[in-house]
Chains A and B, each alone.
Chain A
Amino acid sequence: MRKIDPDANRFRKIVRGKIRENLKQYVSQGELIARQGKKSVSVPLPQIDLPNFRFGQTDQGGVGQGEGDEGDPLGAEQAEPGPEAGDQPGEHVLEVDVNLEELAEILGEELELPNIEPRGSSSILVEKDKYTGITRNGPESLRHFRRTFKQALRRQISSGSYSKENPVVTPHREDRRYRSWNTSKVPQSNAVILYMMDVSGSMGNEQKEIVRIESFWLDTWLRSQYENLETRYIIHDAKAKVVDAHTFFHIRESGGTKISSAYNLARDLIQKEFSPEEWNIYLFHFSDGDNWGGDDTTHCLDLLNNELLPAVNVFCYGQVKSAYGSGQFIKDLRQAYQEHEKVLLSEINSRDEILPSIKTFLGKGH
């Protein structure tokens, strides 16, 4: 352990506390999504630095050195010259990298999310290699020095060529030992999230933004719970299709809504790629609740009852409020599944309701 580790840990703890404190704001503003890297998120933390009396004007300018004429713009790199020069307009805010697992943990703590007990996890085994063995042959890069010399020493002592006065140990070819791997089988939990979204004319940008933010946090949490998480995106109006994440969040279609089209496609996808024996399946559907008509809703309920619900861990329906939607669909679902343990429903009327909605969807630990 390094001397500074307690201080560094202390700092991480403060960072976590601040993020937790402001989680609601981070979630509703959705600003973390844009800052997402591969494994971490860069979180702006304005209040963590120590306040003191300082000058407020950030555009007071300074003194620089170099070629050029009066009125010439300075390059971007020159933004911070001088001993105490003005910073960028706006403020330099401390940003801390937080990895996604930690973020998920914070979300879990704040919403008191239970850990997920994966379904059928023990039945799915994957092979993993671990370097735990020793062999006599192998590449030099894997040579085990200690074992090699030990072997040489043993040989020399038994053959009497080792002397205490001149303790030189010379390994021969046959003394060499190499690291090798053993293959073991470990259970793995796989999960797939199928996001479905209504992109009919009535879903506006704000509605999609809400879906985007919510799915970011759902992703983050579920990713922390499963070793292997896949995502698939389905959009639908009157027809459904599978798209990539970017399209999912940015496409704008128009036209009517046939929710059953999406459920049909989800069923096909599950049948083709994600067998329920091997996968934990999460269905999330977001819509403004306007469906084509009662017939289609009946069709949807049939699909859910007979095909989807038996296959999935959970079916979550989030209804975002839009100016045009009637919001009927959630009422139909509510009526059909009053206390069904696999069906979770939530209404998201504004960004502030994203966090409670996440809690509804994940709070049961399915």
Chain B
Amino acid sequence: MFHDRDLTPELVEWKDTIRQVAVDSGLDFFEVLFEMVDYDEMNMIAAYGGFPVRYPHWRWGMQFEELQKQYSYGMAKIYELVINNDPCYAYLMRCNPLVDQKLVMSHVYGHSDFFKNNAWFGKTDRKMVDTISNHAVRINRYIDEHGKDVVEQFIDVCLSVENLIDIHSPYFSQKENVTEEQRAKERQEAQGTRIPTRSYMEDFINPPDVIEQEKQEILNKIEQTERFPQDPQKDVLLFLLHHGRLQSWQRDVLSIVRDEAYYFAPQGMTKIMNEGWASFWHSRIMTGGILDASELIDYADHHAGTMGGGSGKLNPYKLGIELFRDIERRWNTGQYGSEWESCEDVHGRNDWDLGHNKGLEKIYSVRSTHNDITFIDEFMTEDFAVRQNLYTYKFDRSQSQYVMESRDFRDVKNRLLDQLANSGRPQIEVTDGNYGNRGELLLEHHWTGTPLKMDYARRTLENLEKLWGRPVHLKTQIENKVKILGYNGSRHEERNES
């Protein structure tokens, strides 16, 4: 698939036109290959996370059924689907009218530019289409060797902890941990005492299980000698890869799951920016000459559909595009810097225009360097929050429903940032890989005030135990008390911190 597929000549022409407009606007993107698909294929590809081939797993089937159901009930329809890859792959739905196809193409060029230039995507695999199909090949091989059920169950185990990665780790080189390496070497060299003998006597003189047992004893000793990891390790998956008691195929499956998790992580960190940026550009490109007058109503309808939160939802597309527009306006008029900040005259502020015209330049630089958290933190101003009618809400137990809580700017911003922190997931790190000096694993939940969902946490611990091979523990808080949960392969326990 190195060309557009199934595109009508008309669409090929439009693609070239839109591409040229995008280039002229300064967008710098990976070339985009469009493929025309019907809704069945679209749902299938979407279920695969945008890729044409994935390893066999039931959850794709589950997502597919969900999408098919939603589509057939008319509840949801996938408009655009684009993958971060060089070249970028994007899909167009066959049944869409021309105006939608043009909108989607313009939108996709925005995404492609974002993938290529945003720093958080800088370390992602740009040949992921190939990599992911390699993953499928590898996993299929393990299925042939070990059986479908065994491999699938192990994948389930890995997926259960796939979010325990350190989304920042690709940006600094791992500290050279000499002792770590030495120990790895010792571990590799560890073996039982072997008495030289003739090969046909080998199994009798040196029974493999005894050798193995001895080797394990040495390994245990090595593990007990030192405390590790030396610093808390956020990349729990990497730690498990290095130190978990896994067979080699299991290690490989775990590394596949980890690679894919790292590939998808930046998309979670930049949802608001990425969609905002793509929407900003589809809007600008479409209304900048691509749109035919007869298509205006349909375009406006669909654009509003994507931007609409309906009934007060906070829509990442909407928040993103408005924030980019606001930045562009502020830097065009010079509404930034200390002079602007210190101006308290209402009229002065309203008419403030220094004619800087640096808006476009600024948003281009913002799209390169920020992620959602820093984007909101730096550019969401009080004016903006007021103009956009933002508020926080909470669940009111007495009324059994959600009610508006506050329109205070600081509340809104803090709540938003809280939700975005660590992509809305609890931060969990390895603090001790030799807990209790018994080679057990201790994880710590970095406490931010929100408790974990306990039944899930216990089931996740069960899976962690399978990866670690020894009892695992999690330090967290339950009802304001520090507790250590444990699972030893057959039983759960819960105790206070000693």
A residues at B contact (CB < 8 Å): 2-4, 6-14, 48, 50-75, 77-86, 89, 96-97
Please report whether the interface of chain B is mostly helix, strand, loop or mixed according to DSSP.
mixed
A63 in contact with B314 (CB, 8 Å): yes
Asked if B313 is at the interface (CB within 8 A of a chain A CB), the reply is: yes
A64-B390, A64-B393, A74-B402 known; A53 vs B415 contact (CB < 8 Å): no
Asked if B312 is at the interface (CB within 8 A of a chain A CB), the reply is: yes
Could you tell me the distance between the alpha carbons of A282 and B317 in the complex, rounded to whole angstroms? 60
Could you tell me the distance between the alpha carbons of A60 and B65 in the complex, rounded to whole angstroms? 30
Q: How far is the CB of B293 from chain A (nearest CB, A)?
A: 31
- Which among B313, B316, B406 has the greatest number of chain A C-beta atoms within 10 A? B313
Asked if B250 is at the interface (CB within 8 A of a chain A CB), the reply is: no
In the complex, chain B residues whose CB is within 8 Å of the CB of A4: 44, 47-48, 60-61, 64
Asked if B315 is at the interface (CB within 8 A of a chain A CB), the reply is: yes
Could you tell me the distance between the alpha carbons of A61 and B412 in the complex, rounded to whole angstroms? 11
A7-B64, A51-B459 known; A68 vs B450 contact (CB < 8 Å): no
**Further contacts, 17 of them, CB under 8 A, given A11-B59, A53-B452, A82-B419:** A4-B44, A4-B64, A10-B56, A14-B58, A51-B160, A52-B163, A54-B456, A55-B425, A55-B451, A63-B393, A65-B318, A73-B399, A74-B311, A74-B312, A77-B311, A78-B313, A84-B419
Q: How far is the CB of B240 from chain A (nearest CB, A)?
A: 14
Asked if B403 is at the interface (CB within 8 A of a chain A CB), the reply is: yes
B272 in contact with A83 (CB, 8 Å): yes
Instruction: Give the contact-size bracket for chain B.
Output: 35 or more
A7-B61, A11-B62, A81-B314 known; A61 vs B415 contact (CB < 8 Å): yes
Closest to A46 in B: B455
A11 in contact with B309 (CB, 8 Å): no
Contact residues of B between 83 and 127, Cβ < 8 Å to A: none
B residues at A contact (CB < 8 Å): 40, 44, 47-48, 53, 56-62, 64-65, 69, 152, 156, 159-164, 271-272, 309-316, 318-319, 388-397, 399-407, 412, 415-416, 419-420, 423-426, 428, 445, 450-457, 459-460, 463
In the complex, chain B residues whose CB is within 8 Å of the CB of A13: 58
Q: Which of A10, A65, A70 contacts B315 (CB 8 A)?
A: A65
Among all A-B residue pairs, the 10 with the closest Cβ atoms: A84-B424, A59-B395, A56-B453, A11-B61, A51-B459, A8-B61, A66-B312, A7-B61, A61-B394, A81-B313
A65-B391, A81-B314 known; A52 vs B40 contact (CB < 8 Å): no
Closest to B272 in A: A83
Closest to B48 in A: A4
B399 in contact with A7 (CB, 8 Å): no
Could you tell me the distance between the alpha carbons of A61 and B402 in the complex, rounded to whole angstroms? 8
B58 in contact with A53 (CB, 8 Å): no
B392 in contact with A2 (CB, 8 Å): no
Q: How far is the CB of A208 from chain B (nearest CB, A)?
A: 30
In the complex, chain A residues whose CB is within 8 Å of the CB of B311: 66, 74-75, 77-78
B451 in contact with A70 (CB, 8 Å): no
A3-B44, A53-B456, A55-B426 known; A62 vs B65 contact (CB < 8 Å): no
Q: How far is the CB of B360 from chain A (nearest CB, A)?
A: 26
Could you tell me the distance between the alpha carbons of A51 and B453 in the complex, rounded to whole angstroms? 10
A70 in contact with B407 (CB, 8 Å): yes
A73-B399, A78-B313 known; A54 vs B156 contact (CB < 8 Å): no
B460 in contact with A11 (CB, 8 Å): no
Q: How far is the CB of B16 from chain A (nearest CB, A)?
A: 31
Could you tell me the distance between the alpha carbons of A2 and B424 in the complex, rounded to whole angstroms? 35
In the complex, chain B residues whose CB is within 8 Å of the CB of A62: 314, 392-393, 415, 419
In the complex, chain A residues whose CB is within 8 Å of the CB of B428: 53
In the complex, chain B residues whose CB is within 8 Å of the CB of A79: 402
B69 in contact with A66 (CB, 8 Å): no
Q: Which of B40, B163, B453 contacts A55 (CB 8 A)?
A: B453
- Which among A10, A12, A68, A83 has the greatest number of chain B C-beta atoms within 10 A? A83
Could you tell me the distance between the alpha carbons of A148 and B383 in the complex, rounded to whole angstroms? 72
Could you tell me the distance between the alpha carbons of A8 and B48 in the complex, rounded to whole angstroms? 12
A70 in contact with B450 (CB, 8 Å): no
A54-B426, A56-B452, A75-B311 known; A65 vs B389 contact (CB < 8 Å): yes
A74 in contact with B419 (CB, 8 Å): no
A82 in contact with B60 (CB, 8 Å): no
Q: Which of B53, B162, B415, B460 contacts A63 (CB 8 A)?
A: B415
